Structure 1
Amino acid sequence: PAATSNLLKKSSEVNGLSKDVQKLLWKNKIRFTKADVVVKSLGLAGPNWKVKKLVDKEEDEVGLDGSHAADETNCKKVVDDSVDCSECPSTFPAAVNAEEACETDELRPSKKAKLVVDEKSSDEGEGATVLEKDNEKNSAETEPADNVLAEPDRSPKISNLKDATVLEKYNEKKSAETEPADDVHAEPDKSLKIHPREKMLIDFREKLYLAPLTTVGNLPFRRVCKTLGADVTCGEMAMCTNLLQGQASEWALLRRHSSEDLFGVQICGAYPDTIARTVELIEKECTVDFIDINMGCPIDIVVDKGAGSFLLTKPLRMKGIIQAASGTVDKPITVKVRTGYFGGKNRIDSLIADIGSWGATALTIHGRSRQQRYSKLADWDYIYQCAQKAPCTLQVLGNGDIFSYLDWNNRKTDCPELSTCMIARGALIKPWLFTEIKEQRHWDISSQERLNILKEYVRFGLEHWGSDKKGVETTRHFLLEWLSYACRYIPVGLLDVIPQRLNWRPPSYYGRDDLETLMASDSAADWIRISEMLLGKVPDGFTFAPKHKSNAYDRAENG
């Protein structure tokens, strides 16, 4: 879109978290109008679910020194993951967008009316839920809007003028999306509603898609892959709760470079309300082309929280998450899954028809179960089976063990129903794989050419993380993480059988020159030597242990 391209021209990197929005997230002052309406309309608002208040009397009493007078019992978490799914209805109504949901719900008063605090509700104690307060407001629906606005302003005083101004500007933009500005009871124009078929779509067919790679799929690495032929890029997996809490380190995972012309972000969460609020926030604050929901991450710390591949055991929660996300935003929602949770118990084939009807525009299937991790070859026959069962409105992408242009060609030829294939570890070991696929050849790349690629990565890293001491060491750290994968590459000129397979354990060998031999080493000391060639000597006492061991093929590396 023209608006996206113009925004990217202004800065080489976008999607940074502004300080004003971060402060509002910290203070829990951002309304998620669309998300809350959609979650409620889908029947996912269980008894423990609470709509975030616009104003909390004690929280907004900011002292002159910036300290809050909030009582400990009144403090609220930014993210409420306390949805009791066992108490939610077993079946959900059809997904509707936020505008349609506003018709079925009670008409909401305008922005001024929202700031009015009812004396009765404030005297009843802090235990009253938001839904109970809404019921009290319903009894006054027959009163004219002018009476509501004519009441004396009993809203809590906000002494911090800057916070109040930022909050007012932010909420004015949000209110304009779902509420009429002049007439409280104005009927929305049904002719202006967006039909699900009119939503923006991404055509993944025949495009080379770089997978979202935890830790190593950072912005400098994606820039390297773009220069080598990647068409679609996606940011590293970001946790929804951390984004809603305004954590700068998590928001950094959403940053986008101007060279990434087709870019998405990947998020991971456990509950529909959390994900719905996150996608609404991302659409408001970021420039992205699509949003991917990770339902395949095998990492224990993610699964233990009920997210990632754990959702494969909860199809009703999967349904609620996809419906809530797609109903909240206009951006395309894609989903990434594994074949199942347990080995030998695949279940995506039984859900794929429903996933399309729930609102997803594309589904990426990693051909392994969560239990298998990376210990087995990807089951492409099962991916083909799922692609053939998918509705025509759902694009299916395959993922697993793509390591040469022959692998790519075979997967596309064997199953024309596949839109494209996602490339993950193959790009980490040889990022020039994208060039090989586009040029349909095996590239016998020299050690000097590989070193030049590393130089490009270092240059991009210093631009992204900074050229000061901290930036240099951050660049070095992520360079070493990448080298822990890159050392597994075997030059084409030394192979007895072409092409190399991703599941082969690379043998020790002498390269055609000293640099090629050094790059083939699986020793962290040799990786550090390579980093010193590019970034200078390491600090005294420096040590490095890769986060994802490259020689452990059965370890979890990314979602």
Structure 2
Amino acid sequence: METLDRPLTEGGTLVDDQEKPAGGEDEAAESACLRRDDAQPKPEDLVARAIAPVKAEYLRPSEERKGDGRIPAGDGQKSALAPSASVVVVEKKSKRQLKRERQQEQKSARNICPEIAKTGKVEACRFGVSCRFSHDLESFLDQKPEDLPGVCPFLNTAQPCPYGIACRLFGTHKQFVPLKSSDDPPKKHGVELNYLNKDFQRLLWKNRVKYPKADAQLKILGLSGGNFFKAKPEIDLEEHPVVLDGSNDCDDATKGATCHSAARDDEGCPDICSGNEIMEDDSVIDDPRPPKKAKSPIDDNMCSTEVNNGPEEKSSPMECKETQIKPCSGTRVELIPELNGREKKLIDFRGKLYLAPLTTVGNLPFRRVCKGLGADITCGEMAMCTNLLQGQASEWALLRRHQSEDTFGVQICGSYPDTIARTVEIIERECTVDFIDVNMGCPIDVVVNKGAGSSLLTKPMRMKNIVLAACGASDVPLTLKVRTGYFEGRNRIDSLIANIAQWGPCALTVHGRSRQQRYSKLADWDYIYQCASKAPSNLQVLGNGDIFSYLDWNKRNSDCPQLSSCMVARGALIKPWIFTEIKEKRHWDISSGERLGILRDFVNFGLEHWGSDNKGVETTRHFLLEWLSYTHRYVPVGLLEVVPQRINWRPPSYFGRDDLETMMASDSAADWIRISEMLLGKVPAGFTFAPKHKSNAYDRAENG
């Protein structure tokens, strides 16, 4: 194939971080830029305005386009495959209405008993008339939708299809294909790991699970519940040798440990958002204001500058070997217990293609698709620690792992050291994972308001206690994912790199945006390079943000040799074949048929994961539509004037090279539903869909 790799047109720069005037002048300028007439806009002009420079022969006529580059609502009726601006809106229902619908669904014939569906015999159910499912087999068969195209995903497995007659591919059950050789073991394609044990789930419900490792580590750090309201006992310096570092030593350990002058915010942590500056040696500039009262004893203890006592029991497996006093200022000395002596397995991220943990869309079927296209390392969706500790099955499902994921991690999010440490311990005990990632960069309001995610960037002492507690509670390697800072223009991760390396994680991923920026503007890779250059050799630093082609990947890794690797996030959502492009070092002008084949693989994996019955089919459809809400942003390589496409380019309204490619370019949810019907059959009556995530990546005021 003739190479399509060429640099940007001379003088054409990607002006993404410049603010643009708001109002009518801005819209008029963009309308003029998009107008198709004798004076066709130059590609560099379109690139400067973050508009994809599509070749003129594929652009729609100007009368079909608005100033925003999309055709008006209703014009999609002129062509059956034309993109439209229509949106399918989901009707909001009250909790009472949803409960009533669930009860009606349980009583309907569609909700057939699983045992009867599996065997085809009414007498197979051991609960009889007390069963909460329907036993009307004839009514179920009468109203069952027609079979889907394709074959049952459980066809060649060792066990028969678990859904029996309820399977939407039941017609293929009689077409069992025997294995080629009787000597070969049965092929178990689709083996999944990390299922939640029902007995263990009941223990979580009843709060009867023991956490010996986590509790012992919390005692070491002085964060155990019994010490919140008790005075700190004296330290036995003979049992715990003390190493003094620096010239500002206090007279003795206990005297220095009781002296502190750090101001605290409402969370009981050093106040970094109200004028106090955190120095590299953890000292805090004195503030004349009196310290505020902590909201809770947990917060107060986590940010306390008093001496952290060692474990009371010498036989504890988490007993520290050595304790160091680290002077932070002339009036404050802090005890830091050394981590346990067990060697942790290390994960080598260098040069590996890492698929980022992606909320909603980063499910197991999607990860399998990316794994087949070249991803080396995968990570599950973010799971909330409190939900995992409560035994919520839906949250534990996020930890599920497929056998093809040879290097797999899970991502957790929490607010306090005790919840994260206990979560890490039970994950190590109940699941098979290669690493655990702690999210300290999630910008979602519901997460930040609970003190988790990006909120931790304003609480360095709590960050420290969380990492120390989590590292001590498990032998599984721990990694962190952070943003540059909480507020735009106030980056702070570079000042914490040296400290983070001492806390124990094996890798740190830096997303090149602040929490305030969310996903607007381009990632600050210069700052990521700065963080990587400051990291010690025992801490791998990975960059994250705007990787959308193999050129982006090569540039980021070559510009900073200290960078271990790059994480691919939204780039994989829009075009999951980016991993193939990076490994083969080419721009893949993928056809619409090949893209449909990737979607078909996802559907097959989804039916295998969520089930091939009617409920599983609709669940697969839902997540397929969520994914399609991202894939329509891709502009085929053969249609572009400038290659490669940038992640912040807004595609204008254009025709594809065939009808399917035109439909895939549509930003209309109605067209996404039509694509799903090509793979999963007709949608149920009254079906509606609206994307869960409405990205502001194309926001005009932010993207220039």
TM-score norm. by structure 2 comes to 0.59
3-state SS in 1 of match to 2:406:
coil
Aligned residue for 1:38?
A: 217
- Alignment equivalent of 2:381, drawn from 236, 250, 271: 236
Q: State the secondary structure of the residue aligned to 1:544.
A: coil
Query: How far does residue 487 in structure 1 lie from its aligned partner after superposition?
Result: 0.3
Query: Which residue of 2 is the match for residue 489 of structure 1?
Result: 634
Question: Alignment partner of 1:442: what SS?
Answer: coil
- 1:234-383 equivalences in 2 (<5 Å): 234-383=379-528
Give the deviation of 1:553 after TM superposition. Answer: 3.9
Query: 1:245, CA displacement in angstroms?
Result: 0.1
Render the CA deviation track for 1:101-120: whole Å, top value 9, x for unaligned: 6xx42368xxxxxxxxxxxx
| 1:549 to partner: Cα distance | 2.0
Partner Cα distance (2:318, 2:298) in 1: 28
Match of residue 112 from structure 1: none
Q: Any residues of structure 2 matched to 1:76-155 within 5 Å, and which?
A: 84-88=298-302, 90-91=304-305, 104-106=311-313
Given the alignment of the two structures, is residue 200 of structure 1 paired with residue 341 of structure 2, yes or no? no
Given residue 29 of structure 1, which amino acid in structure 2 is its aligned partner? R
What secondary structure, in the 3-state scheme, does the structure 1 residue paired with 2:600 have? helix
- Please name the residue that 1:143 is paired with: none
How big is the shift at 1:195?
Answer: 2.6
Aligned to 1:423: 568
Query: CA shift at 1:86, angstroms?
Result: 2.2
Kindly provide the CA deviation profile for residues 138-178 of structure 1, in whole angstroms up to 9, marking residues without a partner as x.
Answer: xxxxxxxxxxxxxxxxxxxxxxxxxxxxxxxxxxxxx9x88
Determine whether 1:501 maps to 2:646: yes
Kept in 2, the 8 Å contact 1:212–1:236? The answer is yes
Alpha-carbon contact 1:44-1:89 (below 8 Å) kept: no
**Shift of residue 350, structure 1, vs aligned partner:** 0.4
- For 1:217, the equivalent position in structure 2 comes to 362
In structure 2, C-alpha distance between the alignment counterparts of 1:345 and 1:264, rounded to whole Å: 30
- Give the distance between the partners of 1:214 and 1:305, measured in 2 at CA: 18
**2:204 is matched with which residue?**
25
1:362–1:397 contact (8 Å) kept in structure 2: yes
Distance between the aligned counterparts of 1:300 and 1:48, measured in 2?
32
Q: CA deviation at 1:44?
A: 1.8
Secondary structure at 1:336 match in 2: strand
Helix, strand or coil for the counterpart of 1:493?
Answer: helix
Deviation track 1:446-503 (CA, whole Å, cap 9, x = no partner) reads 0000000000000000000001110000000000000000000000000010000001
3-state secondary structure, aligned to 2:686: coil
What amino acid is aligned across from residue 619 of structure 2 in structure 1? T
Per the alignment, in what secondary structure is the counterpart of residue 387 of structure 1?
Answer: helix
Alpha-carbon distance, 1:45 to partner:
2.7
| Structure ranking higher on relative contact order (CA contacts 8 Å, 6+ apart) | 2
Structure 2 letter corresponding to 1:105: E
TM-score under structure 1 normalisation?
0.74
Deviations 1:206-232 (A, max 9, x none): 000000000000000000000000000
Letter in structure 2 aligned against 1:413: S
Contact kept, 8 Å, 1:219 with 1:256, in 2: the verdict is yes
Alignment root-mean-square deviation, CA = 2.3
- Structure 1 position 10, deviation (Å): 10
Residue pair 2:217, 2:318 contacting (<8 A) in 1 also: no
Q: Distance in 2 between matches of 1:512 and 1:10?
A: 36
**Offset, 1:508:** 1.1
Partner of 1:119: none
Query: Are 2:506 and 2:538, in contact at CA under 8 Å, matched by a contact in 1?
Result: yes
CA distance in 1, matches of 2:430, 2:306: 30
* 8 Å CA contact retained: 1:43, 1:89: no
Cα distance in 2 for partners of 1:554, 1:205 equals 34
Q: Is the 8 A contact 1:367 1:400 kept in 2?
A: yes
Q: Which amino acid aligns with 2:656?
A: G
Cα gap change, 1:324 to 1:178, in 2 (>3 Å): closer
C-alpha contact (below 8 Å) 1:374/1:553 kept by paired residues: no
Contact 1:214/1:236 (8 A) holds in 2: yes
Name the structure 2 match of 1:445: 590
* C-alpha contact (below 8 Å) 2:373/2:577 kept by paired residues: yes
Distance 1:554 1:40 in 2: 48
Corresponding residue for residue 516 of structure 1:
661
Q: Conserved in 1, the CA contact under 8 Å of 2:223 and 2:301?
A: no
Taking a change above 3 Å as real, the CA distance of residues 432 and 360 of structure 1, as seen in their structure-2 partners, is same
In 1, distance between residues paired with 2:600 and 2:297?
Answer: 48
Match of 2:192 among 6, 13, 19: 13
Query: Distance in 1 between the 2:470 and 2:533 partners?
Result: 26
| 1:375-395 per-position Cα deviation (integer Å, ceiling 9, x unaligned) | 111000000000000010000
Letter in 1 for 2:312: D
Q: Tell me the alpha carbon deviations over residues 12-53 of structure 1, each in whole angstroms, 9 at most, x when there is no partner.
A: 101010100000000111110110110111112356869xxx
Is 1:366–1:400's contact at 8 Å kept on the other side of the alignment? yes
Q: CA deviation at 1:91?
A: 3.9
Identity %: 76
For structure 1, the residue ranges without an aligned partner over 5 or more in a row are: 1-7, 51-80, 96-100, 109-174, 180-192
5+ long unaligned stretches in structure 2: 1-186, 230-294, 320-338
2: CA distance, partners of 1:388 / 1:209: 21
* 2:599 partner SS: helix
Name the CA shift for 1:432/1:88 in 2 (closer, same or farther; >3 Å): closer
Number of residue pairs matched by the alignment: 430
User: 1: distance between equivalents of 2:592 and 2:696?
Assistant: 22
User: Per-residue deviation at 1:293?
Assistant: 0.0
Q: Per-residue displacement from partner, 1:233-267 (whole Å, max 9, x unpaired)?
A: 00000000000000000000000000000000000
Residues 421 and 321 (structure 1 numbering): CA distance in 2 closer, same or farther, change over 3 Å? same
* Contact 1:212 1:266 (C-alpha < 8 Å) held by counterparts: yes
Amino acid corresponding to residue 38 of structure 1 in structure 2: Q
CA distance in 2 between partners of 1:349 and 1:14 (Å): 37
Distance 2:189 2:651 in 1: 45
Q: Are the equivalent residues in 2 in contact too, given 1:297–1:308 (CA < 8 A)?
A: yes
In structure 2, C-alpha distance between the alignment counterparts of 1:423 and 1:106, rounded to whole Å: 45
Instruction: Check the 8 A contact 1:265/1:292 in 2, yes or no.
Output: yes
Q: 1:285 & 1:248 partners in 2: Cα distance? A: 14
Measure the CA separation in 2 of the matches of 1:467 and 1:547. Answer: 24
Whether the aligned pair in 1 keeps the contact of 2:302 and 2:465 (CA below 8 Å) is: no
Q: How does 1:532-547 map onto structure 2 within 5 Å?
A: 532-547=677-692
Query: Structure 1: which amino acid aligns with 2:224?
Result: A
Change (3 A) 1:107 1:390: closer
Distance 2:485 2:302 in 1: 24
Select which of 409, 421, 443 maps to 2:554: 409
AA aligned to 1:501 is R
Name the CA distance, whole Å, in 2 between partners of 1:398 and 1:218: 22
Conserved? CA contact 2:353–2:565, under 8 Å: yes
What's the secondary structure of 2:496's corresponding residue? helix
Measure the CA separation in 2 of the matches of 1:533 and 1:11.
24
Q: What is the one-letter code of the residue matched to 1:84?
A: I
Shift of 1:551: 6.2
Residue matched to 1:70:
none
